[in-house]
Structure 1
Amino acid sequence: MNSPTAVSALIEDVAELGPFFAVQVHPPGTEPSGPWQQMSRPLLEERVSGVQEWLATAGGQPPGAVERRVAASVCHQGLAARLVSPALAAAVLHGLVLAPGLADSRWQLVIGGPVPLSLPEGAFAGGSTASPIQLAGELSRRLLDGPLRELADAMEAFSVSRHILWGNTASAVNGAATMITAARPDLTARTRTIISRLLDQPPLGDATETTPDGAFRRRSCCLIYRAAPGGRGALCGDCALKR
């Protein structure tokens, strides 16, 4: 998957699944044009502040009414979803494991929707494999233990526990799989085989469980319900607090 034509075809296939899957590409060692930024503490500070204000406004509250760690958790889940979604789609559709170095990825500060993401061309290097089990192992090694762990390390500084951060990541994995199977029902078995193996891997295995009826459930809460006035917002469908 080294030729520009092959990379372009993969990006188009992945983007058809929805906005959380769309990515741009930039050559290694270069900066993409436009308002792209490297992942950094200042970018995260600005992003968390923007999410905090957005959540407060949505609830008719002043920005300070929303706890900063709540905004940080919501921010983290959105960023994790942007890394997970195209990587999982590339694995399901093309048998390719994207390995985007977090330091080489570029982002734009957009609040209220999927954050624009540009990956280095090198992330698309490597051969493909048809085995879902092998793909799950590679995703665990190169994605979970790579940029997703780096992102969790960075967000922990905002007083969000590792338990919540890995729950957010697991929820992002399950959410991406749900969107893929909704768009491509013919890929349901392949997608579910990959994510069932992936969600069994540490640290995601400790962050999730399967309900008696076979549904996905995380063992933590992303805290978004606390952003509503009085902390009485609705719970997410996969929340540990929902019984």
Structure 2
Amino acid sequence: MTSPATAGAAIEEIAALGPFFAVHTHPPGTEPPGSSGLWQPVSRPLLEARVSGVRDWLAAAGGQPSGAIEPRVAASVAHLGLAARLISPALAAAVLHGLVLAPRLADLRWQPVLGGPVPLSLPHDAFDGSPADPAPDRLADRLGRCLLDGPLRELADALAPFSVSPHILWGNTASAVNGAATMITAARPDLTARTRAITSLLLDHPPLRDTNTTTPDGAFRRRSCCLIYRAAPGGKGALCGDCVLSR
């Protein structure tokens, strides 16, 4: 088990990469210190409430009634944001310290606010064991088993009832992996080769293998759409840069 001191030092360095990487910590089975009721478990009822909140937020952004936004669109957008919030610190921990983040979804604490990165707190024992073999293939394999097949699968399962296809949900996850890698390399160009090596192997892990491809110019391209363009009036919003529909 990674000691709280080791985890704390890693988290401090990870947070320097940007707001999507910053996390708090709390003792297992307790609430974050000084929470005053702000922190809550990542439960299915709260995830359902978040989808509703995202639906209202998307509608207001487009000057539309909430009913104009398909629930599956709101669910996909909510999922993408939360997946990115989990993946960013996990990928950074692997790249920087050879640590593998492996919490259960129920062990996390969050403040389900809208707008910007969701405040997230990890239990002290969220890292799987001591620093791992630093080889990219070993780290990618452990990230696949501990993160993709752990809390990220739980998250996808929790939002699947909103009629979002698994292909879209895992495409969102792949997009979040690539987005986190892009942010790491922008902040730390010296880590580009290591980050891309781990990312490439992780994107080849079975849940993600068929969700993405590489364009002739070397860019990441997902094989699905997060659906956010459908939230705009008339379903005519802009497409994301990595969308399968982009040309």
TM-score, normalised by the number of residues in structure 2: 0.96
Secondary structure of 2:125 counterpart = helix
Q: Aligned pair in 2 of structure 1 residues 233, 181: CA closer, same or farther (>3 Å)? A: same
After TM superposition, the runs of 4+ consecutive aligned structure 1 residues lying more than 6 A away are none
202, 205, 219: which one pairs with 1:215? 219
CA distance in 2, matches of 1:6, 1:15: 14
Aligned counterpart, 1:100: 103
Identity value in percent = 76
Aligned counterpart, 2:10: 10
CA distance in 1, matches of 2:144, 2:72: 27
Q: How does 1:129-148 map to 2 (within 5 A)?
A: 129-148=133-152
CA distance in 1, matches of 2:125, 2:4: 11
CA distance in 2, matches of 1:106, 1:19: 16
Aligned counterpart, 1:52: 55
Aligned counterpart, 1:171: 175
Does the 8 Å contact 2:4/2:125 carry over to 1?
no
CA distance in 1, matches of 2:5, 2:206: 36
Aligned counterpart, 2:193: 189
Given the alignment of the two structures, is residue 29 of structure 1 paired with residue 22 of structure 2, yes or no? Answer: no
Cα displacement (A) at 1:125 = 4.8
CA distance in 2, matches of 1:4, 1:135: 21
Amino acid at match of 2:134: A
CA distance in 1, matches of 2:188, 2:211: 27
Secondary structure of 1:124 counterpart = coil
Amino acid at match of 1:30: T
Q: Aligned pair in 2 of structure 1 residues 43, 77: CA closer, same or farther (>3 Å)? A: same
Q: Which runs of 5+ in 1 are unaligned?
A: none
104, 111, 114: which one pairs with 1:111? 114
Aligned counterpart, 2:126: 123
The Cα offsets for residues 1-36 of structure 1, whole Å up to 9 and x where unpaired, read as 733332221111010111111111111111222311
Secondary structure of 1:97 counterpart = coil
- Alignment length (residue pairs): 243
Aligned counterpart, 2:202: 198
Amino acid at match of 1:216: F
CA distance in 2, matches of 1:168, 1:108: 21
Secondary structure of 2:245 counterpart = coil
The Cα offsets for residues 152-175 of structure 1, whole Å up to 9 and x where unpaired, read as 011101110000000000000000
Cα displacement (A) at 1:60 = 1.3
CA distance in 1, matches of 2:166, 2:48: 18
Over the residues paired in the alignment, what is the CA RMSD in angstroms?
Answer: 1.1
63, 67, 70: which one pairs with 1:64? 67
Cα displacement (A) at 1:216 = 0.4
CA distance in 2, matches of 1:54, 1:125: 36
The Cα offsets for residues 163-201 of structure 1, whole Å up to 9 and x where unpaired, read as 000000000000000000000000000000001000011
Cα displacement (A) at 1:218 = 0.5
